[in-house]
Structure 1
Amino acid sequence: MKRLLFLLLITCMGTWCAVMAQVKYSINEHWLFWQGNEKPDAVPAEDWRFVDLPHTWNDRDAVDDVPGYYRGAGWYRKNLRFDETAKGKQIYLFFEGADQKTELYVNGQAVATHEGGYTMFCADITPYVTFGQENLLLVKVDNSHDENIPPLSADFTFFGGIYRDVYVVMKEPVNISLTDKASSGVYVRTPVVNDKEAEVEVEVLLNNATPQKSVVICEQTVYAPSGKIVKTWQEKIRLEAGAKNFKSVSRLKIQQPQLWSPASPALYTVKTQLKERATGKVLDEVVENFGLRWFSFDADKGFFLNGKPLKLIGTSRHQCYLGKGNALDDAIHISDVRLLKEMGGNFLRVSHYPQDPLILDMCDKLGILTSVEIPIVNAVTESEKFLANSLNMVEEMVKQSYNHPSVVIWAYMNEVMLKPPYDKKDGRYQSYCQEVNRQARELEQTIRGLDAQRYTLIPFHGSVSAYEDAGLFTVPMIVGWNLYQGWYGGNFDGFDKFMLAYKEKYPRTPVIITEYGADVDVRIHSDKPERFDYSVEYGDLYHEHYLNSILSMPFIAGANIWNLNDFHSESRGNAVPHINCKGITTQDRQPKNTYYLYKARLDSVPFVKFADSDWQLRSGLLNREGMYRQTVKIYSNQPRLTVLHNGKSLGTVNMVNGVGTIDITPVEGKNILLARADAAELAGCMDLLEFTFKGVKWQPGTDFTELNVTLGSPCSFTDVEAGICWAPEKEYEQGSWGYVGGQPFRPKTRHGTLPASDLDIWGTDKDPLFQTRRDGIEAFKADVPDGRYAIYLYLADLVAAGEKEVLPYNLGNDAVSTEMGTTVVEVSVNGQQVLPAYDIRKEAGSQRAVIKKIQTDITEGQGLNIEFKALTGKAFLNAIRIVKLD
């Protein structure tokens, strides 16, 4: 669509410029790109490649096995032609976002520089344009670390590039300003709103780029949500020559206003037209939506909208996607907000930075209340330049998003005491705390000066003392808490205790839970879930507890799940390397169980959904009698459900807090489950779940085909691509299969141990198969029938290949790097040596996946006995796959 619009505008440029007050079109297509810090003049033509915007150069290297990703410069160039009829116009280039420092050149001349990767900016290129011929645009974007540009560090990837849309905007010389921090030049305030009446104030900023005075008419027309005109009025304005951002303010009252809310997001519209007084010619026009609502936060009772209490429940959101990085199409931004609305959410934390303008447009349209923040994360730099950049970002954020009724909070300084540059014992720590406080107060004062109606917020991590040291409890109007009890430490009840203690100590300050969550890899399941195992089941337990607690505490005004989607964080290892898996949807927005849990609690539309709907290939350890019981979870906002398995009724399930469970005995092969609401009027309220079950027999019989086992873990793993189910380990018993000897590998941390390694395993995307193992294993036995077999030994040396980065947001849960020494092992199969002296580190190095395939014939009922003898160190095995070939 944008490409078509571009072609039409180029074709009709001469005519359109003559009759339209303003022309705006995207120039996203067919840029030349080159990556490097050198000046582009010396770069050979063949080294440039064509790209379309949005674009990032980190979509691949931020997820590969090579530690780190490119942080440097990238150059974009494009030829742009302006017809002679465009002479006399003001011509602007408008960038919705480029990360993070941008330099713009037109025909070899420096035009503008912008610092900050997440706000819009606009440049007047009129003096640099030559009409009737090609103009060379050259844009340098640099995402290098800069101590004076926030964010300094964060648990997300800083994708470089022009990753949002770029537009040409052409206006008459006398126009509505685009140069007030790239805002629309029209600000709508609603200082008084109630059920009976609303006062609306419209401020317009005007420019006169001509050398003469100009007399204009500023005409305002307000439309009701129905499209009916509420009022039209005009003001005569005399603009001096060269006037910039001349302010015109007008006011009106609206009787019996339609109020904006999540249930009824009624949007009014104001159309501002600038006309020549003498001729009536329209010089410029801006159309802005706005909403009429009033709101407040109470320290005891929470949030109120239009005089009524409303619990704010929703998510935070990062602007990235599977395979795309942060260079997203409009459709993804729109779909993300719809996902939240369909879940029943009413609150979005736009974190940790302003995002594509479509996000707030959709929140206005769908009725999602929002908090927007600038990207000061983890720490500040003690410099005036850092503060100046932060203050500029605040001004850009507020002015660019001012008119959105969805915005109720401006935020800044996320977890700013998480990673101070000095230890508390260092004398410089106190001066750092004072500097943090000084910068916070300047930001706070600036925001309140720009917008007196909305609230301010600072999100803290779970250390009261750290923010007391910085004196931040008295700065913002709302305190936000990022809390992970039961994930980064402690247990679920720790959340409740923390919040009650906070309320007792700081009873007068409103509070929001700005983050909470647990990492979930949808491929991992466990009957014995534990912290940091990344299992679906642990994530379920975490959210079930937190949601109940949040809803039960009236003083908690709102809560944002961390996060709407799994998102990129290059420095992470874990089950899905380079990805933070706390999303309630995957990177490509497939809902996890937790999404449906919230929908069951928040959505009023009748709803039924089986948990684990994406777990379509399942396995389980059968008992000696060949039976297996599996607990199936169901989400619904209905009180009772009837459940059928393969057409046979299993009875009624009572729902408690949106969740119900029932035990089933899955059959080998296809299983079909049906859950439906009991009420006759809800006959269509049902869900169907189909999955294939492959039981792992206790005793391998004559029909044996394969055995796939993870070692050192009680978790199962599903390899969807290969169609393989990996069962958890068990100890060997006569007539069965399992390990002999050893103990699970559990990496040590400052706070205990982890159930799996947190290393990125190179050379595989099946990291969980290599992140657990059994150390000191003596053998793996399987009493399988005679035949020809392939044995696959999965091995990984779980020592970091280089210096391992300690991640501050892991709060001490990084594995302590321990040198385990060299392991040399001898492997024999049924007494025959197959690996005489295998040194994995010598062959493959550390942190790399190795799969050793061994073929063998079993005869005379001897079964399979794989023995491991350590020549140095300890023998280990991460996983094993045994396949019968005949």
Structure 2
Amino acid sequence: MAMVLAQPFSAYAAAPKKAAAPVAQGRIITSLADGWRFLGDEAPPEAIQPDFADGQWQQVSVPHTWNSVGYYHHQLGGKNTAASVNKRQGAGWYRLRFDVPADQANRRQWLEFDAASRVAKVWLNGQYLGEHRGGFSRFRLDATPALRVGQSNVLVVRVDNTQPAAGSATADVLPLFGDFFVHGGLYRPVRLISTAPLHVDMGDFGGAGLYATTTQVNEQGAKLAVKLRLANDGAKEAKAQVRLTLLDAVGAAVANANLAQGVASGKPVELASELTLANPHLWQGVDDPYLYRLRAEVIAADGAVVDTVEQNIGIRTMRFDADKGFLLNGKPYKLRGVGYHQDRDGKGWAISAQDIEEDVATLRDMGVNSIRLTHYQHGQVIHDLADRTGMILWDEVPLVSAWTVGGKLEPEASLVANARQQLTELIRQNTNHPATAIWSIANEVDFGNSLPAFVSGRKDGKTPDPMPLLGQLQALAKAEDPLRPTALATCCEGRLFGADVAIPEVAPAADLGGANRYFGWYFGKAGDLGPQLDRLHAKRPAQPLSVTEYGAGGALTIHTDNVLGGLPDSRGSAQPEEYEGYIHETALAQIEARPYLYASWLWNSFDFATTVRTEGDAQDINTKGLVAYDHKTRKDVWYFYRANWSGKPTLRLTGRRYVDRALPLADVKVYSNLPTTELLLNGRSLGTRQNCPQSICVWPAVALDAGENKLVAKGGDLTDAIVWNLAPERKQHFAIDSGALVAARSKDRLLGSDTWFEGGEVASLDRPADFGRAPQPARIDGTPDRDAVATYRQGSFAYHIPAAAGRYKVTLWFAAGEGVPKGAFDVAVNGKPRLKGFEPKAPATGIGAVAQSFTVTSRGMIDLAFAAGSAPARVSLIEIDAQ
């Protein structure tokens, strides 16, 4: 089955930052950015009055948020600290004094807010103008009755970003839950818009009032259906003329139409017309994002132009096919995308247009051609940039994981109304963008009863059914925009839970499917992604399918010697940067091998704030970004995608932040899409690699020099260099933390993570962290290296340790006691038995650490073989020292 989308769309023009001079009697836009006073608390009732003394309130500019959330335990990727954090959610008050020139008398005045989180109440000169419920969409209020033209005015706004809970003022405002922090404030621009009494309608859910739809397009011509909403706030009916003009990229008129309409007072009317364009220049995504400009001029009976609205137009067709994937203008077009949150270090959500431009430039440099705007409506800046750069967008309403509060099984009617309102605003405000391709009606509403009770609010296992609400939103989206497809992202269908876990099947509620799947991170193995996608595709062969999220945490200061040496801790600290690369490498290979996928959006472009996480080397940060929270520090895996997606020559030595090496040998990996790549160590060539598969070049088991190791990768005109250090005492010393992806910290030596093994499984005596639960370390006596002994490799397995020829002392550490398998096993060294029927002696109570040592001779390799007996063999720590 194919989903067809043939529509050009326009972009809402970014408002000027300074007052614009009127054109004839046209629209005047004044930025309200400076001079605000802010109180980060509840204000007294009299704060709404113009003469209230606000001199002690903080001076701020808008955009503004009081929240600062998320910080690293280092200085590599952001400036936020524990001392600078402000996670308070609740009320905040803003007051602004501004003047309106006397020549704006007899005009309509509108206050326009690009966003206010998450509930806003507005007063002007002590008069209540209204309320908006929803923290992400543009809204306008008619300020005319309260505005004092030619005088000073006082604008007061109360915002409230309280976390929704039963009985709270935000209990019916989406999102109710989510793995991201909802910042408070007037975090997008505010402006005053003055119009003539006869004007393009300002009351259309924050939309532009001017809309265009392509009804026909081919190489010879295109037809655009144009809709314009007109409003008349004058005292009597007005006779209006409308001049529609379509301009090409250099400003030449290529199509036009004239309309005439009588507009009654107080009753907006909708005008319709059709423009015919010969030889259209198509909008071709990142290859050629060509834009036209649609202008609507409203002309009064006396011939004066009283209002003008312009929109960007991109003429293109989009098609989503269940077998062929995504087609743009009839041709296959692989959507290679990222998820995107709008916050950044030091600014929260109060980011500037320049910040967003920087983000888009970073993504374009990586080779991205699509952005999933998660998990709420994003502002017009990112949409305008997407139009101009050719980025194809997934737009999403903030229905995330929950739609009831207090454990209720049915959503409140007011919550349903809010969901419908926010979806309508999302569509009306963004329907004109050529970049916008998909309306997403939900994200991860299929947890079923797998959610813990502290999230669901219920202990009986019953869960609300998401399908009735999804059905309403699907119908609303199709009524608002019949041509664009809907989608939703699922988390849980097809995962293996316990027999008592029920997962609702929600994917059929939307036109397109999207799968958030974290194999190798939250569940399963990295190689499970492809087979899971095949099963979903086979289950619904007529529904186009995408991967909407995949990835892993990547901490800048946490590293591993072997990505397969242990298990990551998705809620704890074991989140090495190298493991993030491994997950993306294996996932992308599986995605690229499945042409039926219409898109993939990795998770995530940038690290972002979320107060449900204490993980990696950060607090209140989701570390799955390819770029750190400062939006500047690029992790290694960013270059993997650049090498594979961008088409630009790319060369990147990985592991540059793992400077002090624990082991004397290391695999060296370079992301390179060059025909030939050479690696040098301290000036010595280690050979070349040609046309590396997936742009991953590897030099295995490189012997490091004692002291400084300068690694240089060269290819063509590109060079990349890093420096690793190996302390001289570690040149012939091995300390391997068996069963650990990230080596434990030791008081007297640097441990390496588990590596050089063959077979076996990893295990731990510690209970890992999870949502709402801190990690629970086991008590282990008899060793200063409790953390190292807690993890172990078990079963029947071997180690092949590349030790230079010589004599070595080998010490093996084992855990014994409560929770450890009881029974004996064997250990052989270089083929000779050393421990036969060995069972580490357990203490009377608790867990103890037991060591066994012996001397061996290496001829270039030390082989340790562990064979199960009456119990699986195991080892927690391996130490090898030259004698």
CA deviations 1:746-796 (Å, max 9, x no partner) are 5325xxx99x99859xxxxxxxxxx9898425347xxxxxxxxxxxxx99x
Which among 384, 392, 398 is matched to residue 427 of structure 2? Answer: 398
2:389 maps to 1:384: no
Aligned counterpart, 1:823: none
How far did residue 594 of structure 1 move?
1.7
Q: 1:493 to 1:277 in 2, by over 3 A?
A: same
How far did residue 409 of structure 1 move?
0.4
Which among 134, 143, 153 is matched to residue 161 of structure 2? Answer: 143
How far did residue 313 of structure 1 move?
1.2
2:694 maps to 1:657: yes
CA deviations 1:223-278 (Å, max 9, x no partner) are 1234332123221222122232x111111222221111221111111111112232
Which among 554, 558, 563 is matched to residue 524 of structure 1? Answer: 558
CA distance in 1: counterparts of 2:110 and 2:779, whole angstroms: 63
Map 1:727-742 to 2 at 5 A: 727-728=750-751
Aligned counterpart, 2:480: 450
Which among 40, 44, 63 is matched to residue 54 of structure 1? Answer: 63
Which among 461, 464, 472 is matched to residue 432 of structure 1? Answer: 464
How far did residue 352 of structure 1 move?
0.3
2:606 maps to 1:586: no
CA distance in 2: counterparts of 1:369 and 1:604, whole angstroms: 19
* One-letter amino acid of the structure 2 residue matched with residue 289 of structure 1: N
Q: 1:471 to 1:521 in 2, by over 3 A?
A: closer
Identical positions, percent = 27
CA distance in 2: counterparts of 1:99 and 1:711, whole angstroms: 48
Q: Any unmatched runs of 5+ in structure 1?
A: 623-627, 678-682, 702-706, 719-723, 732-742, 761-770, 781-793, 799-869, 877-886
Q: 1:248 to 1:468 in 2, by over 3 A?
A: farther
2:725 maps to 1:693: yes
CA contact (8 A) 1:524 1:716 kept: no
Q: 1:33 to 1:309 in 2, by over 3 A?
A: same
Aligned counterpart, 1:189: 213
Map 1:488-499 to 2 at 5 A: 488-499=522-533
Moved more, 418-427 or 93-102: 418-427
CA contact (8 A) 1:163 1:326 kept: yes
2:99 maps to 1:70: no
* One-letter amino acid of the structure 1 residue matched with residue 442 of structure 2: M
* One-letter amino acid of the structure 1 residue matched with residue 742 of structure 2: C
2:599 maps to 1:558: yes
* One-letter amino acid of the structure 2 residue matched with residue 26 of structure 1: S
Q: 1:612 to 1:367 in 2, by over 3 A?
A: farther
2:247 maps to 1:223: yes
How far did residue 468 of structure 1 move?
9.3
How far did residue 133 of structure 1 move?
2.0
CA deviations 1:569-621 (Å, max 9, x no partner) are 012111212000111111112221221111111112222222245x2x61123
2:742 maps to 1:715: yes
CA deviations 1:58-113 (Å, max 9, x no partner) are 21589876999322110000111112111112111111111100000001111010
2:373 maps to 1:355: no
2:290 maps to 1:285: no
Aligned counterpart, 1:675: 713
Which among 541, 545, 549 is matched to residue 515 of structure 1? Answer: 549
CA distance in 2: counterparts of 1:114 and 1:485, whole angstroms: 40
What secondary structure, in the 3-state scheme, does the structure 2 residue paired with 1:412 have?
A: strand
Map 1:252-651 to 2 at 5 A: 252-262=275-285, 263-278=287-302, 280-381=303-404, 382-418=411-447, 432-433=464-465, 436-464=466-494, 470=504, 472-529=506-563, 530-532=567-569, 533-575=574-616, 576-589=618-631, 590-613=633-656, 615=657, 618-621=659-662, 628-651=664-687
CA distance in 1: counterparts of 2:89 and 2:547, whole angstroms: 33
CA deviations 1:467-488 (Å, max 9, x no partner) are 9965634321011111011100
2:221 maps to 1:203: no
How far did residue 666 of structure 1 move?
4.4
CA contact (8 A) 1:380 1:386 kept: yes
Moved more, 660-669 or 503-512: 660-669
* One-letter amino acid of the structure 2 residue matched with residue 569 of structure 1: T
* One-letter amino acid of the structure 2 residue matched with residue 56 of structure 1: T
CA distance in 2: counterparts of 1:207 and 1:717, whole angstroms: 69
2:766 maps to 1:747: yes
Q: 1:661 to 1:61 in 2, by over 3 A?
A: closer
2:44 maps to 1:39: yes
CA contact (8 A) 1:710 1:772 kept: no
CA contact (8 A) 2:767 2:777 kept: no
Map 1:826-837 to 2 at 5 A: none
How far did residue 458 of structure 1 move?
1.2
CA contact (8 A) 1:585 1:591 kept: yes
What secondary structure, in the 3-state scheme, does the structure 2 residue paired with 1:618 have?
A: coil
Q: 1:534 to 1:429 in 2, by over 3 A?
A: closer
Moved more, 268-277 or 557-566: 268-277
CA contact (8 A) 1:81 1:135 kept: yes
How far did residue 699 of structure 1 move?
8.6
What secondary structure, in the 3-state scheme, does the structure 1 residue paired with 2:559 have?
A: strand
Aligned counterpart, 2:137: 119
CA distance in 2: counterparts of 1:212 and 1:676, whole angstroms: 76
CA contact (8 A) 2:122 2:158 kept: yes
CA contact (8 A) 1:194 1:294 kept: no
How far did residue 716 of structure 1 move?
6.2
CA deviations 1:673-712 (Å, max 9, x no partner) are 44333xxxxx43x1322325242624999xxxxx999999
Q: 1:27 to 1:406 in 2, by over 3 A?
A: same
CA contact (8 A) 1:157 1:569 kept: yes
CA contact (8 A) 1:747 1:757 kept: no
CA deviations 1:197-242 (Å, max 9, x no partner) are 2211111111111012212221111112343321232212221222
CA distance in 1: counterparts of 2:710 and 2:846, whole angstroms: 49
How far did residue 329 of structure 1 move?
1.4
What secondary structure, in the 3-state scheme, does the structure 1 residue paired with 2:442 have?
A: coil
CA distance in 1: counterparts of 2:847 and 2:636, whole angstroms: 39
CA contact (8 A) 1:457 1:478 kept: yes
Q: 1:19 to 1:426 in 2, by over 3 A?
A: closer
Q: 1:694 to 1:454 in 2, by over 3 A?
A: same
Moved more, 495-504 or 133-142: 495-504
* One-letter amino acid of the structure 2 residue matched with residue 584 of structure 1: L
CA contact (8 A) 2:112 2:193 kept: yes
1 or 2 for the larger relative contact order (CA 8 Å, sep ≥6)?
A: 2
Q: Any unmatched runs of 5+ in structure 2?
A: 1-14, 72-79, 165-169, 405-410, 755-761, 791-842, 850-883
How far did residue 671 of structure 1 move?
4.6
Q: State the TM-score, normalized to the length of structure 2.
A: 0.76
CA contact (8 A) 1:157 1:568 kept: yes
CA contact (8 A) 2:679 2:712 kept: yes
Q: 1:68 to 1:223 in 2, by over 3 A?
A: closer
* One-letter amino acid of the structure 2 residue matched with residue 640 of structure 1: T
Aligned counterpart, 1:768: none
How far did residue 637 of structure 1 move?
2.3
Q: State the TM-score, normalized to the length of structure 1.
A: 0.76
Moved more, 345-354 or 17-26: 17-26
What secondary structure, in the 3-state scheme, does the structure 2 residue paired with 1:620 have?
A: coil
CA distance in 1: counterparts of 2:773 and 2:661, whole angstroms: 26
Q: How many residues align?
A: 730
What secondary structure, in the 3-state scheme, does the structure 2 residue paired with 1:413 have?
A: strand
CA contact (8 A) 1:610 1:687 kept: no
2:121 maps to 1:103: yes
CA RMSD of aligned residues (A): 3.7
